[in-house]
Amino acid sequence: MDIKTFSEAPWLYLSLSIVIAFATYLILRRQRPATAINEEMNDVKQAAAEGFSSSEEIFPPSSDFIAKARVKGMAGYQKLYRRSIDDPEGFWADEAKELTWFEPWTKVLDESKKPFFKWFVGGKTNLAYNCIDAQIAKGLGEKVAIVFEGEPTPGGVAEIRKITYRELLSEVSRFANVLKSLDLKKGDTVAIYMPMVPELAFAVLACARIGVVHSVVFGGFSAESIRDRVNDANSKAVITMDGGYRRGKFLPLKQTVDEAVKDCPSCKHVLVLQRHLGKPDAACTMQSGRDLWYHERAAQVTDVCPAVWQESNDMLFLLYTSGSTGKPKGIIHGTGGYMLQAYTTNKYVFDLRNDDLFWCTADVGWVTGHTYVVYGPLLNGASVLMYEGAPDAPDFGRFWKIIQDHKVSVFYTAPTAIRAFMKWGDEWVKKHDLSSLRLLGSVGEPINPEAWLWYHRNIGAARCPIVDTWWQTETGGHMITPIPGCTPTKPGSATLPFFGVDAAVLDENGEETDSGILAIRKPWPGITQGIYGDEKRYIEAYWSRWGGKYYFPGDGAIKDKDGYLWITGRVDDVVNVSGHRIGTAELEAVFIENEAVAESAVIGVKHDLKGQGLMAFVILKTAHAKTVNEANLAKTLNNMVDAKIGKFARPERIVFVPDLPKTRSGKIMRRLLRDISEDRELGNVSTLADPAVVEAIRQKFATPAV
């Protein structure tokens, strides 16, 4: 049959058109992410309207700071930045040559499997070797690598330890030999659940030394969270400690691990360190065959352990983080590219020098602790401070006393902490000598200009530059940040992209705009290698928004007239509570497990101290709605959050409502819930299936919680 025109075979043309139209629809639908673009844009626009980026004050670095800085002035920044964008491979190869490679790479960047990028293909290296042995080779063996300040124990004395690079080599090598004695080898995964003590750094570095993938689980997570992470990664062992101190209390971590690994078939061993040798916590019971005391195993091995060669793209670690849907995802980081991101950001952003004592207050359980407590400072041969306890124990001056006692020179903390310091009062700061400080940093959430200015005046004595660093677990290291000897800063702005970062602010169609969504065009060395066991989810969550051309980090941003970037916060269903990422879907999944709950919607709302808090709106099943005691049920739901995620994920309030604001197609309009919670005029309600619902929710919200 030879058909040439529509008139000859209309049925064929029609069916072809339908097939093509349907296929196009399917493709477009696939590319359209689950979260609604318009709502997100509204949020950023609202931030812009509220004067988010209106701070006009500009703080250039002092001439004194510039004189000693590694990169000087904006011209210095522009020159390096231009090269990093025009010739990224040349730029990164030159930086990478400052590190130790056992075998050179054959290709700097392989984009053939985009968005799964490979850096320094064929290059052989080892991160622990670069952090320790390479520093000793440079003559830093007797230099202090880690200064540890423990929380004051019940006896009232804080434990202080100083560990040199040579001692670190011995500790890490012995630890690695213990891991080997448990038959753990290159490519295996282990989970680490420990307090902020030097042994946590030893454990991480020991894994890196022999190619074991570490999956650190923050010490505040519950047994169920540990279980899920161990199972997802098939971790063969868990490294933990009998417990750690916080605000004078001993927190029994091993007990939580016991609870977790009951349901972890892959976990053959629990390796237990003692917080105080010879004094195990009474509650720490050992299961024969599975549980092993670290100190007993350590006595049986030597402290010499050669570093295992890693191909640059071999997996270094997994770190679980929340997304807008489903369970937390295991973010994969490789070896060489991540190493370079950690090395260069510490070198340029903190301008680290030989005589610096660097203190990043983050827990190693989060990515900030990986890159800026363990790997980055050591790659630069710096001394790093680790503190076990809380900022308010035994008193509100704890951090300032630590800075004074140890002469910390670079201090890196979160806006949540800064807002708490402001609340506790300047007198705690004034009692201490902070003159050793020369540079301050902020990370984890947008910093409000008031907090920035307080930090600048009270902690930095109007002398120290502030680097407000935007980045995320997936990026491995800083992405948008001032370079301290170069960038004039504006309070509340993360300013300009780091070297090699090609950032843009886009609208829903991928067009550049002034207020929209942050997007990154080119790959950078520290970019994640994907989500463990779920390539599809990685592509969908990060690369589908603009047809695969840009990485979508999930943040809104405003670009001002000087090209400075102001991060407005998450535009997906992730909430940043005190700098901790929590997916609203995770909480909703917890609530639905309660038999009285029919449905819920969790949103993020402004919070004076935490930046954002969680607000939960819960609908009860009809059978329970009349009989349930709301106060008791709220308690039960909170306890469920503690048990399934961790106490830090508790909502500010649980409001029981008759219904949720839904469109006719059944989508919950979270924006209206935010308007109610933040006492704003309601946005457009005309698309709601039942506009009266909003008033009912508003009334319920106005009734004080019991």
Which residues lie near ligand PRX (CB under 6 A)?
321, 366-368, 443-446, 468-473, 494, 553-555, 567, 569-570, 576, 581
Contact call for residues 128 and 307 (beta carbons, < 8 A): yes
Name the β-bridge partners of 109.
119
Residue closer to ligand PRX by CB (options 152, 613) is 613
- Nearest distance from residue 368's CB to ligand PRX, in Å? 5
* Cis amide bond preceding 252, omega within 30: no
- Nearest distance from residue 71's CB to ligand PRX, in Å? 20
Structure tokens at 679: 């006492």
Neighbours of 618 (CB within 10 A): 25
Helix (H, G, I), strand (E, B) or coil at 593: coil
- Nearest distance from residue 447's CB to ligand PRX, in Å? 7
Residue closer to ligand PRX by CB (options 444, 661) is 444
Neighbours of 478 (CB within 10 A): 32
Residue closer to ligand PRX by CB (options 241, 439) is 439
- Nearest distance from residue 319's CB to ligand PRX, in Å? 8
Dihedral sign, CA of 91, 96, 102, 105? negative
- Nearest distance from residue 146's CB to ligand PRX, in Å? 21
Nearest one of 543, 559, 540 to 551, comparing CA atoms? 543
Residue closer to ligand PRX by CB (options 105, 566) is 566
- Nearest distance from residue 419's CB to ligand PRX, in Å? 14
Residue closer to ligand PRX by CB (options 443, 657) is 443
- Nearest distance from residue 332's CB to ligand PRX, in Å? 14
Residue closer to ligand PRX by CB (options 200, 349) is 349
Residue closer to ligand PRX by CB (options 448, 458) is 448
Give the containing element (helix H, strand E) for 127: helix 127-128
Nearest one of 292, 325, 116, 318 to 231, comparing CA atoms? 318
**Strand spans (E) along 217-314:** 237-241, 244-246, 249-251, 269-273, 291-293, 310-311
- Nearest distance from residue 470's CB to ligand PRX, in Å? 4
What is the number of residues in the chain? 706
Residue closer to ligand PRX by CB (options 490, 581) is 581
10 Å CB burial of residue 599 (0-12, 13-18, 19+) is middle
10 Å CB burial of residue 268 (0-12, 13-18, 19+) is middle
- Nearest distance from residue 222's CB to ligand PRX, in Å? 18
Per-residue CA distances from 340 to 100, 121, 336 (Å): 11, 14, 6
Residue closer to ligand PRX by CB (options 173, 416) is 416
Residue closer to ligand PRX by CB (options 46, 600) is 46
Half-sphere exposure of 306 (CA within 13 A, CB side): 5
Half-sphere exposure of 510 (CA within 13 A, CB side): 14
Angle of helix 198-210 versus helix 165-181 axis, rounded to 10: 60
- Nearest distance from residue 322's CB to ligand PRX, in Å? 8
Residue closer to ligand PRX by CB (options 163, 494) is 494
**Rounded Cα gap, residues 471 and 704, in angstroms:** 38
Listed in sequence order, the residues at least 6 apart from 390 whose beta carbon sits closer than 8 Å to its beta carbon are 151, 246, 247, 398
Contact call for residues 204 and 365 (beta carbons, < 8 A): no
Q: What is the separation, in whole angstroms, between the first and last Cα of the chain?
A: 78
**Rounded Cα gap, residues 535 and 181, in angstroms:** 33
Residue closer to ligand PRX by CB (options 570, 610) is 570
- Nearest distance from residue 518's CB to ligand PRX, in Å? 9
- Nearest distance from residue 558's CB to ligand PRX, in Å? 12
Neighbours of 515 (CB within 10 A): 23
- Nearest distance from residue 88's CB to ligand PRX, in Å? 22
Residue closer to ligand PRX by CB (options 101, 375) is 375
Structure tokens at 349: 């952003």
